[in-house]
Amino acid sequence: MVAELNESTFDSFIDGNKKALIDCWAPWCGPCRRMGPIIEEIAAEAKDFAVAKLNTDDNQSIAVRFKINAIPTLLVFKDGVLVQTLVGLRPKDDILRIMSGI
């Protein structure tokens, strides 16, 4: 299971990992439900980056902070800094390529 972040755990997670991939989602979002298993697979295989999920409905301040207004959105952090925002459903290979490129 991929860890679920919230407003109190988010910052320590992105600061505590050199590279982090955050899947921003909400339960009623169809494309998010499709992204879910892809993120689970990536998390199980990821060696040099951390993966977590963030429910944007329950954690709206983070959605506002990172200007998220469509989900699924993947936030990619390096050294605690946002380096990529990927909007919409993405294939696994695309995500892995982006993660290896940062």
Catalytic residues: 29, 32
Q: Sketch the per residue contact string, 38 through 57, with other proteins: x for CB under 8 A, - otherwise.
A: ------------------xx
Which of 3, 70, 83, 102 forms a contact with other proteins (CB under 8 A)?
Answer: 70
Phi, psi of 32 (to 5 degrees): -65, -35
Which of 15, 88, 97, 102 forms a contact with other proteins (CB under 8 A)?
Answer: 88
H/E stretch holding 39 reads helix 30-45
Instruction: Let me know if 8 is exposed, middle or buried by CB neighbors in 10 A (0-12, 13-18, 19+).
Output: exposed
Applying CB under 8 A, the residues found at the interface with other proteins are 26, 28-34, 37, 56-57, 60, 63, 67-73, 85, 87-89, 91
